[in-house]
Structure 1
Amino acid sequence: MANHMLGLGSQFPTFSKTAVVSLEQGKEFSTITSEDHKKDGKWLVMFWWPKDFTFVCPTEIAEFNRRAGDFADRDASLIGASTDSEFVHAAWRRDHDDLRGLKFPMLADTSKSLAEELGILTEGEKVAYRVTYIADQDGVIRWVSANDLSVGRNVDEVIRVLDALQTDELCPCNWKAGDATL
């Protein structure tokens, strides 16, 4: 039986995972938890990709990285994640020009426990779908966007939604930061 994807209003699952945070010898890995962003009063933006060393993924990761400052400006902790190990993440970062200077952690959900709790594993191979979560400072999921494996996501849309959620007001269709709220 397929797991149901965790949705709006749910508490983002508790986790403590190893992530690649640097390519500097001896400083590559760090533990990231579900409490980190809450301690800092930040929002959480976590985006998942199916597999390291694939083709659509680095374009998305590079774009999130280009926009890392936009997430930081909005008091959001940006985390990328897949079910690959931290060693595979580190190897991919060293191997790929667009990934060497990443400004956000690459979370390794090697046991697939977090992806499973979120309900975002594919049937069969059990890799994560391209899913993006926005959770507020209390860890409540406020937005979920899921793409098929073949379709890359739109980082501008993630930022637009984060802006809208942070206004705490009603934002009409196609609303962008600076537009009037309802």
Structure 2
Amino acid sequence: MTLSESMKDFLAGTAAGFSGKLVDHPLDTVKVLLQTQNVITPSSSAAGETATTYRGAWHCLTYTFRNKGIAGLYAGLSSPLLGSMAENAVLFASYSRFKRAIVEKGASMDELSLLQLSLAGAGAGFNAAFVLTPVELIKCRMQVQSSASAAGFRSYNGPLQVLWQTIQ
């Protein structure tokens, strides 16, 4: 039994999303922690002050690793891992499908112009955005929830609760 071209593209995208997210997530966690570190807490808002925990990216990375271990760098991974796999699967499969649609109109697959390739890429990116946007929102809320709950803000039990409370 052979896999169809679309299924091969889908599986390749899934594998790319999985491996890419394993490498990317700790750095993304550091980025989100840095972006959200100066949130005004209920106790500091009366005094009008904010707390800066990290002096920079390297300090944030080492501080998080020392205090929370590798799990701290991979906080909130489940949703973005599944999301990245789905996003890249859609991206790869859509890109190939758009290229095949252009070829069906009379172009040669080996001689697609830059404009034709750009249109295929734009269409694939458009499709992938429908997966990426909600996943990004869930990921960011899960990554900062330990800091947010310590500051007196809402804490979530998991990605589905983030999604449900966002919809409400």
TM-score normalised by structure 1 residue count: 0.22
Higher helix proportion (structure 1 or 2):
2
TM-score normalised by structure 2 residue count: 0.23
Higher strand proportion (structure 1 or 2):
1
Q: Could you say which structure has the larger radius of gyration?
A: 2
